Amino acid sequence: MFSCIFISSLLLIAKFVLTFMHVNISKCFYKITEDFHHEGDVVIGAFFPLHTYYTKNKIPHSYLPYYYKDNYLQYNFKNYQYILALVFAIEEINDNPNLLPNISLGFDFYNVRFIEKDTLMNVCFWLTGQGQKNILPNYNCGKSNFATALTGTAWTTSAQIGTLLQLFKFPQLSFGPYDSILSDRGQYSSLYQMASKYTSISLGIVSLMVHFRWSWVGLILPDNHKGNKILSEFREDMERKGVCIAFVKMIPMTWNAYYNKFWENMDETNVIIIYGDIDSLTGLMRNIGQRLLTAKVWIMNTEPHITDYADYFMLDSFHGSLIFTHNYRKSFKISNFIQTVNPYKYPEDIYLPKLWHLFFKCSFSDVDCRLLANCQPNASLDVLPSHILDMVISEESNNIYNAVYAVAHSLHQMHLQEVQIKPHENGEAIAFFPWQLNIFLKDINERDNMSFGGRQKLNAEYDILNLWNLPKGLGQKVKIGSFSANAPEGQQLSLSEQMIQWAEGFSEIPQSVCSESCGPGFRKVTLEGKAICCYNCTPCADNEISNETDVDQCVKCPESHYSNTEKNHCLQKTVIFLAYEDPLGMTLACIALCLSALTAFVIGVFVKYRDTPIVKANNRGLSYTLLITITFCLLCSLNFIGQPNTASCILQQNIFGVAFTVALATVLAKAITVVLAFKATFPGRMVRWLMTSRAPNYIIPLCTLIQLFICGIWMTMSPPFIHQDNHAEHGHILLLCNKGSSVAFHCVLGYLCSLAFGGYTMAFLSRNLPDTFNESKFLSFSMVVFFCVWVTFLPVYHSTKGKVMVAVEVFSILASSTALLGFIFAPKCYIILFRPEKNSFHRIKDKTYSRWNKI
């Protein structure tokens, strides 16, 4: 199916080619002169580029359909629209009885070949009216009055002609693009540019780049002052919008020495901007067309003017190109006029016979090379394809039309002025010097849409056209959007993307970037020595995100949030603490309750067997105090579990400090009591008083008061408070009690350790004292364990984070409390419950007596 369609398309194209092209071109085609004259009382000189000669050694490509001897002749029939606009304007003026009455306008046409010698020779031929004869300076052999010269499209042509005409102050109107050099009134005081100065085309093109996210584009510009100027504008706008230039290629004046080098690195980007006037881009466009660079999006400010045979090929390099054109006010409609134009109506026009001969199968007479009337029926210029002759009026044609009217109005004003000064007889031809028109051309009113002297028209509006050229002969330009710099920011560019036909090879919007986009969760890292559009992508840091593409910096999540794994979204942190529902918290709470129950059991045992020797011998009152205090120590650990609040934070440290102070002070009192008890065997007034007055028991309230004083200072200066730790555990906010003053907390621990050390010292001194129920060894062991637990606690506590930090403190409380309970009371409970025979007064007396005998 596809093969049938493809073959059918090729047959249609071949038929189209054979219809409009002749294999054998008549010799008369080349004998007809290049220049012609249109009669009139006042003559305008028209210098337009319609065809060019190429020598064999400078031919830009291998095949052209038109050749003559050693030269190749290339026509650009699109520019024939300039002549049509000129003729149309002159006929309108000549038919207008209110404008230049009894005076007719005419013109002399000269082809511009872009060779300075030929251009200046044509001007001399026109000024002297001597044709191709020897030129006699300062002599005019013609009979018509010369009004002005129309020049374009290249600025070089206008500048070359202007240099010559400036010697005579001869008025010159340039219809090509505005050029700052031609606006130099000191050098070209009689040259007037019809085009306005537009200043926003670079901004429009760059805005299009930004819209399609094309950040890596190439630039092709003419190698002249205009190219350098627009390059600086592009650089400025691109830098501001974040678009980078992949390469800049300047179109050389000649392709011979630069031909192959010019196309190097062209594949670095998919989007290339081409800026320049029609004449400076002709050679470039031709080469692009021949190379079939179909996988490129060309952004241009002018339509490619190519009419060779190769342009009928099905695949076209410029298919899908985007063209920025000025949205100018068209001064006239030429469609009806074009339908009436034929070589028989305008026999002086030397291009119409060539068009009819090439495209409508007309023949030339072998005798005088006149065109015979044997053409195809209904032959008309409006049936020609748009790539040969466009029916849409170009800006240059519009400027030509306005220029002719500017000359007509100037002549009319000058004629009225002369009539007022010196009325002349009816039928007398107008007589003037061309330089006299300058004063009237300068005074043309803006209502005629003239823009002489380079008057600026800032922020012009542009139409954006999409070139559909597949196949070329059936293609067209489709408006797909517009750009207006006067619109508010963000509304300057308007596009209908669904209407765009992209270049062959692109099924969707093309991509043109130096580096692939950095997706969410990544940020750009610029490469040293590279453009800002060339970068690497690196993941965002911890707790940072990026939810857009190509961000320069990641955004840090708030303290109450954390970044997800993909680093593209911030999630709410969960509030955690050492809760009872937590396995760790539940385990510690169960241990604390079990140990508390065990302590209560021991209390019960001691109360039940309070009258037994072992209970009495170990200071029954201090044992009760110690057991109750151990219970409080075990239960105070529960205050560390659960959601903290201000009250619990304050009670945690106070109860912990006071409870353990009482416990350690009791142990110290026990150890001192044992020492005093054995000292009492050697009578002494002071020792006996200490024993009888129970003075060691006062150690407990005294030590407790000291700890209460330390805690009071702590609570006054910097009490504990609730703290939210956002960094302890990823994705969580840890609620815990901040100690407030770290110094005060360590003072409490230090005081407890000093009490433990004191108790250990006293117990160690009495370890060898002879007594059946001497508990000094057990007291010293418990103090050693207590001391080791809390000395070890400090480094472990400060090296942990989160709930584990709280759990370490709870574990230390439980471990130290268990040490007191186990080492001091476990042996006693064992004797009471399992070895009751040892818990008797008889056993005590026997053992005591035997030990004293040994001593």
Residue 753: the pLDDT is 86
pLDDT of residue 94 exceeding 90, the answer is yes
Cα–Cα distance measured from residue 104 to residue 563, given in angstroms and rounded to the nearest whole number: 83
Cα–Cα distance measured from residue 569 to residue 538, given in angstroms and rounded to the nearest whole number: 16
Do 361 and 376 meet the contact criterion of CB atoms below 8 Å apart?
yes
Q: State the CB neighbour count (10 A cutoff) for residue 696.
A: 23
pLDDT of residue 400 exceeding 90, the answer is yes
Buried b (16+ CB within 10 A) or exposed e, 186-204: eebebbbbbbbbbebbbbb
Q: What are phi and psi of 633, to 5 degrees?
A: -60, -40
The domain made up of 35-114+147-195+393-448 has a fold known as Rossmann fold (3.40.50)
pLDDT band of residue 232 (cuts 50, 70, 90) is very high
- Relative to beta strand 522-526, strand 535-539 is antiparallel
Average pLDDT over residues 119-142: 69
Worst-scoring range by mean pLDDT, 462-466, 632-636, 815-819, 836-840?
836-840
Residue 407: the pLDDT is 93
Helices within 173-314 (DSSP H only): 201-211, 225-241, 259-262, 278-291
CA torsion, points 377, 379, 385, 388, in degrees to nearest 10? Answer: 140
Residue 12: the pLDDT is 40
Task: Give CA separation, 818 vs 175, 596, 624, 774, 812, in Å.
Answer: 106, 10, 16, 20, 10
* Averaged pLDDT score across all residues of the chain: 80
Structure tokens at 402: 């306005």
Residue 134: the pLDDT is 57
Listed in sequence order, the residues at least 6 apart from 750 whose beta carbon sits closer than 8 Å to its beta carbon are: none
Cα–Cα distance measured from residue 812 to residue 761, given in angstroms and rounded to the nearest whole number: 22
**Of all helices (H) and strands (E), which one includes residue 678?**
helix 646-679
Structure tokens at 846: 């026997």
- The CATH label, of 3.30.465.10, 3.40.50.2300, 3.30.70.1290, 3.40.640.10, for the domain at 201-329+459-499 is 3.40.50.2300
Structure tokens at 791: 């000395």
Structure tokens at 50: 């319609």
Do 504 and 320 meet the contact criterion of CB atoms below 8 Å apart?
yes
Q: What architecture is the 583-854 domain classified under in CATH?
A: Up-down Bundle (1.20)
Do 477 and 466 meet the contact criterion of CB atoms below 8 Å apart?
yes
Question: How does pLDDT run across 603-626, given as a tens digit for each residue?
Answer: 998 888 888 888 877 778 888 888
Residue 853: the pLDDT is 36
Question: How does pLDDT run across 59-93, given as a tens digit for each residue?
Answer: 443 333 333 334 456 677 888 999 999 999 999 99
Question: How does pLDDT run across 535-562, given as a tens digit for each residue?
Answer: 999 999 988 999 888 888 999 988 888 8
Domains in the chain: boundaries? 35-114+147-195+393-448, 201-329+459-499, 522-572, 583-854
Average pLDDT over residues 397-418: 90
Residue 206: the pLDDT is 94
pLDDT of residue 296 exceeding 50, the answer is yes
Q: Do domains 201-329+459-499 and 583-854 have the same CATH topology?
A: no
CA torsion sign for 850, 851, 854, 855 is: negative
Q: What is the DSSP string of 753-790?
A: HHHHHHHHHHHHHTTT---TT--HHHHHHHHHHHHHHH
Task: Give CA separation, 158 vs 111, 177, 265, 395, in Å.
Answer: 13, 11, 35, 17
Residue 677: the pLDDT is 62
Q: Between these two residues, 253 and 303, which has the higher pLDDT value?
A: 303
The percent of residues above 70 in pLDDT, for the chain, comes to 81
- Relative to beta strand 36-38, strand 105-111 is antiparallel
Do 462 and 326 meet the contact criterion of CB atoms below 8 Å apart?
yes
pLDDT band of residue 204 (cuts 50, 70, 90) is very high
Place of tokens 């800032």: 458
Residue 690: the pLDDT is 52
pLDDT of residue 8 exceeding 50, the answer is no
Average pLDDT over residues 376-381: 84
CA torsion, points 53, 56, 62, 64, in degrees to nearest 10? Answer: 30
Residue 655's nearest CA partner among 672, 686, 631, 624 is: 631
Average pLDDT over residues 582-597: 91
CA angle 575, 580, 582 (to 5 degrees): 65
Q: How many CA atoms lie within 13 A of 231 on its CB side?
A: 17
Residue 69: the pLDDT is 37
Residue 56: the pLDDT is 44
Question: How does pLDDT run across 432-461, given as a tens digit for each residue?
Answer: 888 888 888 887 644 444 445 444 455 678
Q: What is the DSSP string of 209-246?
A: HHHTT--EEEEEEESSHHHHHHHHHHHHHHHHHT-EEE
Cα–Cα distance measured from residue 774 to residue 772, given in angstroms and rounded to the nearest whole number: 6
pLDDT band of residue 273 (cuts 50, 70, 90) is very high
Residue 774: the pLDDT is 61
Question: How does pLDDT run across 338-372, given as a tens digit for each residue?
Answer: 889 999 899 889 888 888 888 888 888 877 788 88
Listed in sequence order, the residues at least 6 apart from 27 whose beta carbon sits closer than 8 Å to its beta carbon are: none
